[in-house]
Structure 1
Amino acid sequence: MTEQGVRWTAEQVLALAPDDASRKAGGRLGGAGPWSQTGGSASGAVWGLCKGSGSKPYRTVVDLTGPAYKCSCPSRKFPCKHALGLLLLWAEEGAGDPVEAPDWAGEWLAERAAKAARPAAAATGPVDEEGARRRALRRAERIGAGVTELEQRLVDLLRGGLAGQEQTGYAPWEEAAARMVDAQAPGLASRVRELGTIPGCGPGWPARMLEEFALLHLLDRAWLGVSGLPEPLAATVRSRVGLPSSGEGETVRDHWLVLAQYDSASPDGRLTTRRTWLHGAASGRPALVLDFGPPGRPPGPALPVGLVLEAEARFRPGSAGLRADLGERFAAAVPATRVPAGVGPEEALAAYGNALAQDPWLESWPVVLGPVIPIPGEPGDAGWQLADAEGASALPVHLAAGRSRSGLWQLAALSGGGPVTVFGECGHRGFTPLTAWHPQGAEPVALG
């Protein structure tokens, strides 16, 4: 069977939908009725003509190695309902024997192949190293001035106490964040904006605010002394402040399992961040791929949980070796055939502790936990736990902002009181479950 012949499940296809409306519309196009001239290639592409309201059918083609989509319909959503319907049809019936793509599909696929094979353009002139050094020095001076100003703000707030923060509102923190943008420290600006969302957010907010003050103060002091830090930690500090990576990290080719993917909005609603967690089968390395999109436009790429893709991951310096960008892909993504191996609660905490030594501002660490049994809290209580099968240790469950409690009941239903394997983020507030597997099946369940 060809790579393209290894089909995804309907759930994995629908996970690509940018919204519920697209998911429903794509589902209605998942049968053979509106489709004609469907086919697929051995390299991992499927195509077809979908009858619409006009006289001409829509031309739809999907490159499964991306996945990437092309459709002649006017929709601005990616993937559109026609691409989703084509993938659902392929997931149900397959594409038959590989055939040559029609011209309209072959041209687009050839362009993608040529772009992927094209080497990076060589520099057209000599690098102005002295000019680059002066610009970097000026930026470092601006960041230093911004950090010093921010430290004074924190000192003044602590001297005056936090009691008035609920009445002060968000505006002073937005103004402070704007000052950090002026200082060319976007990472600091982001952390300052988040401070403005804490007062009045629930019981215990003063303690949480003091925790964030301490981490921000630690980052400020680290920047002021960055020249004396070991290079890996210095790279992390530069990254947390908001400077771009100054060098290339390690490139790892592996079969990467998509463990989880979810979107979150920035506090001001101006940006959507898509987090994709990957795990390398051979290297054993976790990888976090971040993509960003403006309002109304979902980031990419959309990778259904449970797929395995053979690709290169280019890791960025710093950030405990987690941040990576996906590079060249070598085959179409295929569904995983086994449940990933898990660790116990104590090993999960040890992994997070080791990562904190490399990045003290790391809020969580990716962990596959299992076998564990979800234990619900008392009615009205959020005190859920994930206990190992022997009951020797457990982790408290923490629901990150924007995540629904319904995901916990999904997990309990999947467990049925028995052990399950769970992937999530393990941090100082507890374990946030994102994906789960039943012991008797390799198909993952994304927890809402």
Structure 2
Amino acid sequence: MLLTDGGEPLGTAAPAVRWTVEQVLALAPDDASRKAGNKLGTAGPWSDTGREEQGAVWGLCRGSGSTPYRTVVDTTGPAYTCSCPSRKFPCKHALGLLLLRASDEAALPSAVPPDWAGEWLAGRRRRAEASAVREEPDGGAGASAGPADPAAARRRAERRAERIGGGVRELERRLTDLVRGGLAAAAEQSGDGLWEETAARMVDAQAPGLAGRVRELGAIPASGPGRPVRLLEECALLHLLDTGWQHIDRLPPPLAATVRTRVGLPGAAEGAPVRDHWLVLAQYDTPEGKIVARRIWLYGRESGRTALLLSFGAPGRSPGQALPVGVTLDAELTPHQGAGQLRAELGTQFGSPVPAATPPPGVTVTGAIAAYGRALGDDPWLDSWPVTLRDVIPVPSRDGWQLADAEGDSALPVAPAALSRPALWKLVALSGGGPLTVFGECGHRGFDPLAAWAPTDAHARRGAQSAPDARPAHAETVPLI
């Protein structure tokens, strides 16, 4: 069951978890939506508000027109509907309604939904029932008439492979010309016309993964000192990927799947679903050309696996899939192909989300570097690897900030992308000079912190009286992006 607009509600009668302000803001599609939602997070602009114990909330929000906007949120999805003209998802009114509940639940009394909210909720339930019938093992009334033509699918795959092969050969010629002309001179050239034209050729060859890496080459001339070295590194990785595609039939199956994914072929979720209690660690959006990619990191309590949910939004729209950071889902995930097998598809959920009690166990700085090194052995094009650092302290350094082991002599530099985010100061304030547990992405650019947990005051007061093997109690998850 996917958590998208129009997705089915959870089949449970348990009361829904009340989200925190941090969890609500993590759902916002951008900073502008966060600011606008904050302004609507008070009782002033709202009327006729209410909530169901199973998770639905609704209200009328006063706007610039004569008619207030009708806003409904089903938090078991989450899914949203609003009569406003915004194309953002969720809109500022949905965010404001959730923020109002997070800060003052009494402002949304328990009630029966009005007709305009009840009709939308009933429609979601009908779609959920119809979807369940289609997914029955015996086919159900809405079962598909039969599988697609395998011969036609094979011919389409062969034609795409030929186009990608042509794009790879052209890219190799351009890389050869670049090296012959001198990387130092190319690294000093301004403008990205050549790179954009080459990236467009890779898109024409149906190799969007290659196009993305070519665009990264175009950003290097404006990336500061050390440009020739970085350009050489990226060219070498592109050449390695080209070579892998040209000899893909000789590669081990996991590495071949990774090459296909890196080139841009869609991977399929396969294998047995993994049911676990998945902690939502982080959620953030990044632009990828004209679309927006949303990444949601999850951690399985029992399996110890880290998984990535990846969804995309069309131009002008945010991705539909969204999860509140800091809750735990009892759900099934099906992994994709590939060496790392981090990406997965979210399946059936077994109950309502609940607040997370503790963060993942975590590793030392040395352990994080070792984990990234092992992952590179499976996927040489990997930029970073998800890890949880335990007992680290943010400290300033000559070149920025570091996360230093509280009881060791090793440290990881904070990635340059994180240095400009206000959340870095939130991390520093949360630490107060003491150790933290921090989740983020560890890579060759440093460590990008995405979420943090501080030990609770009660545990801090116990101090040395705690049992040596006792795990500290932590406060709620604090998103850092």
Counterpart code for 2:358: R
> Aligned equivalents of 2:58 and 2:90: distance in 1?
14
**Secondary structure in 2 aligned to 1:220?**
helix
Q: Residues 15 and 139 from structure 1, CA distance in 2 versus in 1: closer, same or farther, beyond 3 angstroms? A: closer
Shift of 1:151: 1.5
Shift of 1:125: 4.6
Q: Residues 5 and 183 from structure 1, CA distance in 2 versus in 1: closer, same or farther, beyond 3 angstroms? A: closer
Is 1:101 equivalent to 2:113 in the alignment? yes
For 1:422, the equivalent position in structure 2 comes to 438
Q: Which moved more, 1:49-58 or 1:168-177?
A: 49-58
For 1:174, the equivalent position in structure 2 comes to 196
> Aligned equivalents of 1:24 and 1:126: distance in 2?
48
**Secondary structure in 1 aligned to 2:333?**
strand
Q: Is the 8 A contact 1:5 1:94 kept in 2?
A: no
- Deviation track 1:9-67 (CA, whole Å, cap 9, x = no partner) reads 12322333334444344334334444444333343222233445555543321111121
For 2:479, the equivalent position in structure 1 comes to 446
- Deviation track 1:50-104 (CA, whole Å, cap 9, x = no partner) reads 4455555433211111211112233333223332232123223437886543332
Q: Residues 110 and 16 from structure 1, CA distance in 2 versus in 1: closer, same or farther, beyond 3 angstroms? A: same
Q: Is the 8 A contact 2:16 2:54 kept in 1?
A: no
**Secondary structure in 1 aligned to 2:183?**
coil
Q: Is the 8 A contact 1:374 1:387 kept in 2?
A: yes
For 2:452, the equivalent position in structure 1 comes to 436
Give the % identical residues: 66
Q: Residues 113 and 7 from structure 1, CA distance in 2 versus in 1: closer, same or farther, beyond 3 angstroms? A: same
Q: Residues 134 and 72 from structure 1, CA distance in 2 versus in 1: closer, same or farther, beyond 3 angstroms? A: closer
Q: Which moved more, 1:156-165 or 1:99-108?
A: 99-108
Q: 1:288 aligns with which of 302, 305, 308?
A: 308
Structure 2 unpaired stretches of 5+ = 1-12, 136-141, 457-473
Q: Which moved more, 1:291-300 or 1:132-141?
A: 291-300
For 2:138, the equivalent position in structure 1 comes to none
Q: Which moved more, 1:51-60 or 1:178-187?
A: 51-60
Runs of 4+ off more than 6 Å = none
For 1:197, the equivalent position in structure 2 comes to 219
Shift of 1:190: 1.4
- Deviation track 1:254-288 (CA, whole Å, cap 9, x = no partner) reads 3222212222223xx52322222111222221111
Q: Residues 240 and 446 from structure 1, CA distance in 2 versus in 1: closer, same or farther, beyond 3 angstroms? A: same
Q: Residues 246 and 303 from structure 1, CA distance in 2 versus in 1: closer, same or farther, beyond 3 angstroms? A: closer
For 2:123, the equivalent position in structure 1 comes to 111
Q: 1:395 aligns with which of 394, 412, 432?
A: 412
Shift of 1:236: 0.9
Q: 1:345 aligns with which of 365, 371, 390?
A: 365
Counterpart code for 1:180: M
Tell me the TM-score normalised to structure 2 length.
0.84
Q: Is the 8 A contact 1:339 1:442 kept in 2?
A: no
Q: Is the 8 A contact 1:66 1:332 kept in 2?
A: no
- Deviation track 1:98-127 (CA, whole Å, cap 9, x = no partner) reads 654333223222322333341356443553
> Aligned equivalents of 2:69 and 2:268: distance in 1?
45
For 1:368, the equivalent position in structure 2 comes to 388
> Aligned equivalents of 1:148 and 1:55: distance in 2?
61
For 2:464, the equivalent position in structure 1 comes to none
Q: 1:308 aligns with which of 315, 320, 328?
A: 328
For 1:139, the equivalent position in structure 2 comes to 160
Shift of 1:158: 1.3
Higher RCO, 1 or 2 (CA under 8 Å, sep at least 6)?
2
> Aligned equivalents of 1:195 and 1:250: distance in 2?
38
Q: Residues 5 and 251 from structure 1, CA distance in 2 versus in 1: closer, same or farther, beyond 3 angstroms? A: closer
For 2:10, the equivalent position in structure 1 comes to none
> Aligned equivalents of 2:271 and 2:193: distance in 1?
38
Q: 2:54 aligns with which of 31, 43, 51?
A: 43
For 1:59, the equivalent position in structure 2 comes to 70
Q: 1:327 aligns with which of 347, 353, 374?
A: 347
Counterpart code for 1:394: A
For 2:206, the equivalent position in structure 1 comes to 184
> Aligned equivalents of 1:313 and 1:126: distance in 2?
24
Counterpart code for 1:17: A
How big is the alpha-carbon RMSD for the aligned residues of Structure 1 and Structure 2?
2.6
Shift of 1:3: 4.2
Q: 1:413 aligns with which of 395, 415, 429?
A: 429
Give matches, 1:195-344, under 5 Å: 195-245=217-267, 248-266=270-288, 270-318=290-338, 320-344=340-364
**Secondary structure in 2 aligned to 1:211?**
helix
Tell me the TM-score normalised to structure 1 length.
0.89
Structure 1 unpaired stretches of 5+ = none
Q: Which moved more, 1:366-375 or 1:162-171?
A: 162-171
> Aligned equivalents of 1:42 and 1:410: distance in 2?
33
Q: How many residues align?
A: 442
> Aligned equivalents of 1:328 and 1:429: distance in 2?
36
**Secondary structure in 2 aligned to 1:189?**
helix
> Aligned equivalents of 1:425 and 1:126: distance in 2?
40
For 1:155, the equivalent position in structure 2 comes to 176
For 2:468, the equivalent position in structure 1 comes to none
> Aligned equivalents of 2:436 and 2:385: distance in 1?
20
Is 1:86 equivalent to 2:97 in the alignment? yes
> Aligned equivalents of 1:8 and 1:244: distance in 2?
34
> Aligned equivalents of 1:163 and 1:81: distance in 2?
48
